[in-house]
Amino acid sequence: MLQKIYDYVDERLDITPMWRDIADHEVPEHVNPAHHFSAFIYCFGGLTFFVTVIQILSGMFLTMYYVPDIVNAHASVYFLQNDVAMGVIVRGMHHWGASLVIVMMFLHTLRVFFTGSYKKPRELNWVVGVLIFFVMLGLGLTGYLLPWDMKAYFATVVTLQIAESVPIIGDFTKALLAGGEIVGAATLTRFFAIHVFFLPAALLGLLGAHFIMIRRQGISGPL
């Protein structure tokens, strides 16, 4: 059945050459754990992407139940955890994955730095990677408020105070994020929009550029 579907699509779109180009792409020997024990450090990028995919899929599930307003936000999270089948597991995956993806990305960044993989001709990819790191931090920051409990509320208050202390653009940044003088309904709505629409769009664009450059330039050499 699957072969018939593949043949049907391939006959019309000629996807086999593209698929073979990906499947037949050779991986350098120094990133093969079977040949070099140190090759495991080259897995951090792939693991980061794997956790990112889990975050995207679990986040899509959560948005089917989450209500982004100050009256129903916390109640919708409570309902998700206690009344939706597997809801507590999916939310737990998303919650802990938010921290795990930062850890994995930090380890990946260290690997790139200490192996000199940021040097010519990969400087631009290093810049894109740093931008991805900041987007991930932004996702963690904006997602923290969404449960709308006391911890999330006061953590966001502190975050906005820090943003306000930035020279020149501090007041503008706080007003843009908070939507007013206090952390309220406008703040929750803006954080939800940034978390679900703006930052994921930026992340997908940056990841696409990251993977294209890796494909063009290849995996960096050993130490």
CA angle 48, 58, 98 (to 5 degrees): 45
CA atoms within 13 A on the CB side of 67: 12
Tell me the pLDDT tens digit for each residue of 156-208: 999 999 999 999 999 999 999 999 888 999 999 999 999 999 999 999 999 99
Non-local CB neighbours of 27 within 8 Å, separated by 6+ positions: 219
Task: Tell me whether residue 85 is in a domain.
Answer: yes
pLDDT value of residue 36? 67
Residue 4 falls inside a structural domain:
no
Of 202 and 215, which is predicted with more confidence?
A: 202
**Contact yes or no for 112/118 (Cβ under 8 A):** yes
- 7 lies in some domain: no
Please state whether the predicted TM-score (pTM) of the whole model is above 0.85. yes
Q: Which domain holds residue 68?
A: 35-217
Mean pLDDT of 202-222: 90
Question: How confident is the model at residue 37, as a pLDDT?
Answer: 60
Say what angle helices 123-145 and 185-193 make with each other, to 10 degrees. 150
Cα torsion 160, 127, 99, 56: sign: positive
pLDDT of residue 35 exceeding 70 = no
Name the band, by pLDDT with cuts 50, 70 and 90, for residue 20. confident
Place of tokens 């043949």: 7
pLDDT at 34: 63
**Domain count for the chain:** 1
The amino acid that residue 73 corresponds to is: A
pLDDT of residue 26: 76
Q: How many helices (H) and strands (E) does the chain have?
A: 10, 0
Residue 194 lies in a domain: yes
Please report whether residue 23 resides in a domain.
no
Residue 20, domain member (yes or no): no
Give the CATH number of the domain where residue 64 resides.
1.20.810.10
Is 124 inside any structural domain? yes
Query: Residue-wise over 23-40: b if at least 16 C-beta within 10 A, else e?
Result: eeeeeeebbeeeeeeebe
CA distance linking residue 155 with residue 161, whole number of Å: 10
Per the domain annotation, does 2 fall within a domain? no
